[in-house]
Amino acid sequence: MTATELATAAQSEDSAFVEFWNEVLAPKFIKFKHVLVDGLTQHSEAVFPSLPVKKGDRVLDVGCGFGDTAIKLAKLVGPEGEVVGVDCCDAFLEYATKDAADKGITNVSFMRGDAEIALPAEEFDFVFARFGTMFFANPVAGLRNMRKALRPGGKMVHIVWRQRADNPWLSMAKDVVLQFLPQPGEDALTCGPGPFSMSNEETVKIMMKSAGYEDTELRRVDAPVLVGNDVSDAIAFQLAIGPAGEVFREAGEKAEQMRDEIEAALAEAINRQKISADGIVMDSSSWVISATNPVQ
Ligand SMILES: C[S@@+](CC[C@H](N)C(=O)[O-])C[C@H]1O[C@@H](n2cnc3c(N)ncnc32)[C@H](O)[C@@H]1O
């Protein structure tokens, strides 16, 4: 599929999840970019030095967000290589395109696409995704599209969150907010299945096998992440994004009426966390999943 066909397919068939990313989450992600990108980077930095990428490779970055990993990959493949970043969210793509231009990186391009529907059908040497695949409503379809974007024998790496218990930076605030507000209902508006949908090792291996990969391996990465520059930044972040943010958003007027009590309880819980010179730090844990597209 060409870039134009891909953009047309994605735009004419936006799913409710893609609309949610564009309309609800994008402004919140932009506001808390300083927290999100720094935290997520801890997990990709742990594997970047050992990624199976060499000079001259063609690389696809799926769910590339603000484009920082695509730009790093573009530096790894050098001027004779090429990186394409795909995301379903216009505002992130705009930021990524401008950032690459400002940095004078010319071997990276960004395009709109829904990975569950289609990805560029060129033969990439390597496909990468940092914290994008857990949002696929149909994970096998998305993972299969990523595999089909690879040349035979090409490699992929995607990074996803491990279980809730090892990710208090995402789960702790939800537990606090649930003391005041109900769980979101079945019809809650969401960005997809959510951060822990690929946390189970056995389930992920079955998904990868069903998508046609071989040699799937999971490596655990633990990293402390910044959740805010100070307590009020951390509270605002938690009530905007992630599982706590979803509970708060879905409760609507009731959440606003209880905002003072909820913020006070969150402040108490956040004050018990580690405080560094940069702000509030909490534990996080990911799987780095690597696999190969079989040679037929
Ligand atoms: C948690 S963010 C991670 C962004 C970036 N990879 C990073 O690590 O900073 C998830 C990203 O996946 C994108 N995304 C979610 N579902 C997608 C889909 N079906 N197709 C393409 N992008 C998708 C979102 O727009 C968002 O940019």
The Å distance, Cα 131 to ligand 1 centre, comes to: 7
Torsion of CA 194, 196, 199, 200, to 10 degrees: -90
pLDDT of residue 39: 84
pLDDT of residue 2: 58
Q: Distance between CA 247 and CA 177 in Å, rounded?
A: 7
Q: Distance between CA 171 and CA 174 in Å, rounded?
A: 5
Q: Tokens 């690597």, residue? A: 290
Q: In terms of DSSP bridges, do strands 58-62 and 124-130 run parallel, antiparallel, or are they unpaired? A: parallel
Beta strands (DSSP E) in the chain are: 58-62, 82-87, 108-112, 124-130, 150-161, 214-228, 274-275, 280-292
Please choose from 15, 34, 64 the residue to mutate so as to test ligand 1's pocket, defined by most ligand atoms within 8 A of CB.
64
Going by alpha carbons, the residue nearest to atom 10 of ligand 1 is 132
Closest CA to 169 of 233, 250, 219, 226: 226
The Å distance, Cα 177 to ligand 1 centre, comes to: 25
Question: Which residues, 6+ apart, have CB-to-CB distance to 1 below 8 Å?
Answer: 9, 118, 119, 120, 121
The Å distance, Cα 87 to ligand 1 centre, comes to: 6
The Å distance, Cα 26 to ligand 1 centre, comes to: 10
Q: What is the CATH number of the domain that holds 197?
A: 3.40.50.150
pLDDT of residue 190: 67
Structural domain harbouring 141: 3-292
Please tell me the total count of domains within the chain.
1
Provide the 10 A C-beta neighbour count for residue 13: 11
The alpha carbon of residue 294 and the mean position of all alpha carbons in its chain are separated, in whole angstroms, by 26
Going by alpha carbons, the residue nearest to atom 16 of ligand 1 is 135
Cα distances from 123 to residues 60, 106, 281, in angstroms, run 10, 20, 40
pLDDT averaged per 10 residues, the chain (length 296): 56 81 91 88 92 97 97 98 97 98 98 95 93 94 97 97 94 95 79 84 97 98 92 94 90 95 96 90 96 94
Going by alpha carbons, the residue nearest to atom 23 of ligand 1 is 63
Beta strands (DSSP E) in 203-279 are: 214-228, 274-275
Atom of ligand 1 at shortest distance to CA of 142?
19
